[in-house]
A and B are shown apart, each in its own frame.
Chain A
C-alpha cells in the first residue's frame, strides 16, 4: 500500500488548504463545478454506478438512498451527520479540522444531486476547534458566492447552517439527529416513514456522514470508473481507518478496502505494530458497536462484506481498537456495557432495561462476583433486544449486543476461568453490595 496516494487526507498537514483559496489552489471546487454541468439525476446515477456506500456505519449505498426521495417533492433537506460519537472513532474530526472545504464541497454536490436548498451540519458539541474551522469555511464560502444564491452562476441555491449538538450519542442516529435539529430530545423516530419521505420538519430529507460526502468531489471529478477501480466491487473508493490502543502509531489513515485488520495494526504506514512487549488479545475493528475479534481473526478484511463472516455487525466506522494481553477482559466487558447503558435514550423497554442489565452483570463480573450463569444471561439478553429481532426503534441496542455477545462467546473459556478463580467470600460480599 506504499504506493497508495491519499485522496481524502491529501490536505492533512497543509494548513493553507483550510482556506478557500488554498483549497482551490490544490484542485478544490472542481467537482461541484463539473457536477453543475450535469443534471441532478445524472449525478445520482454516477454515484450509484460508483457504488459509494455510506461511511457512517451502516454502509447503505448513497445513490440508492437519494433515489428514494419522492419525485414530486418541493422542499428537500440535507443533513450532514458530523455527530461522530462512536468510540474510538475520529476520522470525521480529522476531515473537518484539516479540510473543511472538502466537506462543504461534498455537501454542495449532495445538495445539488438531491435538490436540497438547505443543509444542516449537525456537529457534536465536544468539537470546538472543528466547529470554528468549519464555520470559517462556511463564512468564506458565502463571501465568495459559493453558498447562497445561484451558485457558480447556475440555477442552484444552497444555505448551510452548522447546528451544534448538546451531548447525546443517540443523536448520531439519523432520526434522533433530525429530532434534535427540530429542538427536541434526540429520540429516534419509528420507521417507516424513512427520512427520504418524511424527515426534517416532516419534509423529504437525506442524512449523510461527513466522510461519505468528502468522497463526492473526487468521485464526480474523476468519475465512477476511477472510483470503482479502488477496492473490491462491494467496497469501492478510498476509506479512512482509525487505530488506537497499544500500537506504535495510533491515528487515522487512508487506504483501499483491501487491507486486513492485521495490516492496520502491523504495517508501517498504519499502526506500525504493537508497542514493545505488547501482544494482541482482542480487536474491536469497527468502532465498539460491531463486536470483537480474537487474535486469531486478524485476517478479516476491512471491507463491507468480510466482517459478517466473523460474526460481526459490519464494518461500522472502521475504527479499530486493540486490547492487549495485559488487559483484564472483564474490565473491557464492563467498559463496553456501561457505554450503552448510559447512552440508551430510554424510549424502548428492551433497550433501556437490557443495556442496564448487561451493565449491572458486567460490573458484577468485573468486581469479582460473577457467576457462571451470568454469561448465559448476557448472551440471552443480547439476543433479545435490538432492531434485528424487531424490538426497538433504532439500532443502538444492536450495537450494544454485538460487542457483548461476541466477547462472551469468543472469550467464554477465559471468562469462565476468571470467574472460577474468584474467592467465594469476596464474591458474596460484592454480591450483597452490587445487587
Chain B
C-alpha cells in the first residue's frame, strides 16, 4: 500500500509510542529515536509527537532546541564531534580540527553538500586521559592526530555502502 510521507511518519512515531509510552517522560527517548532514524526532527515530526503525547508542539521544540544531541535541522550521516575542552585543547585538538576542516571542505557547524558529514565541537567526552578525543556517531576515537584523520574519514566512507543498504532495508520492511 502506498503511504504519503506524513502518514508514514505518523505510523512510525505511533509505533515508538507503543515502545516508550505516551506520557511526558517518553518525550526524550522518542525524540532520540527519531533523531537516530532521520538525523533530525522535522517540524512535522514534532507536531506528530506533540499530538501523541498531548502537549503543545512548542514544548517539543523547546526540548529539541535545548539538547545538543537533538536537532531540528537534519545532520549528516556521520556527525563528527571533536572535544574542545581543556585536556584535549592542550593535547592538540586545534591541529586535528584544521585537518578535519581541510579534508571535508567545511567548517565547524556545517554539513558536507552530499549530506555525509557534519562537523561539530563537543565539550569534554570523558576521554581526557587519551586526548584529543572525538566521537563519530556512537564510536569514540582517542589520541587522534592530524595524520590519523584521513584514515578515520575513509573508515566512515567505506561503511556507507553497508549502512545505506541497511537503512533502505529497514524502511522497506
From A49-57, A137-145, A243-251, A255-263, the one touching the partner chain is: A243-251
Q: Chain B residues near A324 (CB, 8 Å)?
A: 90
Most chain-A CB neighbours within 10 Å: which of B59, B62, B125?
Answer: B125
Q: Quick one: closest B residue to A342, CB to CB?
A: B123
Q: Chain A residues near B113 (CB, 8 Å)?
A: none
Q: Are B123 and A339 in contact (CB under 8 A)?
A: yes
Most chain-A CB neighbours within 10 Å: which of B27, B29, B67, B127?
Answer: B67
Q: Is B124 an interface position by the 8 A CB rule?
A: yes
B108 → A minimal CB distance (Å): 13
Chain A proximity mask over B20-36: 1 for CB below 8 Å, otherwise 0: 00011111110110000
Contact residue among B63, B68, B70, B89 (Cβ-Cβ distance under 8 Å from A183): B63
The 5 A-B residue pairs with the shortest CB-CB distance, nearest first, are A88-B128, A166-B67, A87-B124, A167-B68, A183-B27
Q: Chain B residues near A90 (CB, 8 Å)?
A: 126-129
Q: Are B138 and A244 in contact (CB under 8 A)?
A: no
Q: How far is the CA of A43 from the CA of B40 in the complex (A)?
A: 47
Asked, given contacts A244-B87, A245-B90, A288-B86, whether A250 binds B129 with beta carbons under 8 Å apart, the answer is yes
Q: Are B25 and A88 in contact (CB under 8 A)?
A: no
Asked, given contacts A86-B124, A88-B128, A321-B128, whether A128 binds B140 with beta carbons under 8 Å apart, the answer is yes
A selection of 14 A-B contacts at a CB cut-off of 8 Å is A84-B126, A85-B124, A88-B128, A90-B127, A124-B126, A125-B69, A163-B29, A165-B69, A168-B66, A183-B23, A246-B90, A250-B128, A319-B128, A339-B85
Interface size on B, residues (CB 8 A): 37
Q: Chain B residues near A343 (CB, 8 Å)?
A: 123
Q: Are A321 and B87 in contact (CB under 8 A)?
A: yes
Q: Quick one: closest A residue to B65, CB to CB?
A: A185
Q: Are A85 and B63 in contact (CB under 8 A)?
A: no
Q: Is B106 an interface position by the 8 A CB rule?
A: no
Most chain-B CB neighbours within 10 Å: which of A180, A244, A245?
Answer: A244
Chain B proximity mask over A156-187: 1 for CB below 8 Å, otherwise 0: 00000001111111000000000011111110
Q: How far is the CA of A31 from the CA of B145 in the complex (A)?
A: 45
Give A280-330 interface residues, CB cut-off 8 Å to B: 284, 288, 319, 321, 323-324, 327
Q: How far is the CA of A244 from the CA of B133 in the complex (A)?
A: 13
Q: Chain A residues near B26 (CB, 8 Å)?
A: 183
Q: Is B139 an interface position by the 8 A CB rule?
A: yes
Q: Is A129 an interface position by the 8 A CB rule?
A: yes
Q: How far is the CA of A321 from the CA of B85 in the complex (A)?
A: 11
Q: Are A183 and B124 in contact (CB under 8 A)?
A: no
Contact residue among B24, B86, B87 (Cβ-Cβ distance under 8 Å from A184): B24
Q: Is A332 an interface position by the 8 A CB rule?
A: yes
Q: Quick one: closest B residue to A324, CB to CB?
A: B90
Asked, given contacts A128-B140, A185-B63, whether A85 binds B128 with beta carbons under 8 Å apart, the answer is no
- Chain B residues engaging chain A, CB cutoff 8 angstroms: 23-29, 31-32, 59, 62-63, 66-70, 84-87, 89-90, 122-131, 135, 138-140
Asked, given contacts A181-B25, A183-B24, whether A331 binds B69 with beta carbons under 8 Å apart, the answer is no
Q: Are A128 and B139 in contact (CB under 8 A)?
A: yes
Q: Quick one: closest B residue to A126, CB to CB?
A: B125
Known: A87-B124, A92-B126, A167-B70. 8 other contacts (CB 8 A): A89-B126, A90-B128, A126-B122, A167-B67, A167-B68, A168-B66, A181-B25, A183-B28
Q: Chain B residues near A181 (CB, 8 Å)?
A: 25
Q: Is A252 an interface position by the 8 A CB rule?
A: yes
Q: Quick one: closest A residue to B30, CB to CB?
A: A183
Q: Is A336 an interface position by the 8 A CB rule?
A: yes
Q: How far is the CA of A244 from the CA of B124 in the complex (A)?
A: 12
Q: Quick one: closest B residue to A170, CB to CB?
A: B66
Contact residue among B32, B63, B126 (Cβ-Cβ distance under 8 Å from A126): B126
Chain B proximity mask over A56-81: 1 for CB below 8 Å, otherwise 0: 00000000000000000000000000
Q: Is A93 an interface position by the 8 A CB rule?
A: yes
A158 → B minimal CB distance (Å): 18
Q: How far is the CA of A89 from the CA of B130 in the complex (A)?
A: 12
Q: Are A167 and B69 in contact (CB under 8 A)?
A: yes
Q: Are B131 and A244 in contact (CB under 8 A)?
A: yes
Q: Chain B residues near A182 (CB, 8 Å)?
A: 24-25
Contact residue among A183, A186, A242 (Cβ-Cβ distance under 8 Å from B128): A242
Q: Are B140 and A321 in contact (CB under 8 A)?
A: no
Q: Chain A residues near B89 (CB, 8 Å)?
A: 331, 335
Q: How far is the CA of A339 from the CA of B70 in the complex (A)?
A: 19
Q: How far is the CA of A246 from the CA of B131 in the complex (A)?
A: 11
Q: Are B130 and A250 in contact (CB under 8 A)?
A: yes
Q: Chain B residues near A411 (CB, 8 Å)?
A: none
Q: How far is the CA of A129 from the CA of B137 in the complex (A)?
A: 12
Q: Is A194 an interface position by the 8 A CB rule?
A: no
Q: Are A335 and B86 in contact (CB under 8 A)?
A: yes
Q: Are A87 and B28 in contact (CB under 8 A)?
A: no
Most chain-A CB neighbours within 10 Å: which of B26, B122, B138?
Answer: B138
Q: How far is the CA of A248 from the CA of B66 in the complex (A)?
A: 39
Asked, given contacts A87-B124, A182-B25, A288-B86, whether A164 binds B66 with beta carbons under 8 Å apart, the answer is no
Q: Chain B residues near A357 (CB, 8 Å)?
A: none
Q: Are A335 and B66 in contact (CB under 8 A)?
A: no
Q: Chain A residues near B28 (CB, 8 Å)?
A: 163, 166, 180, 183
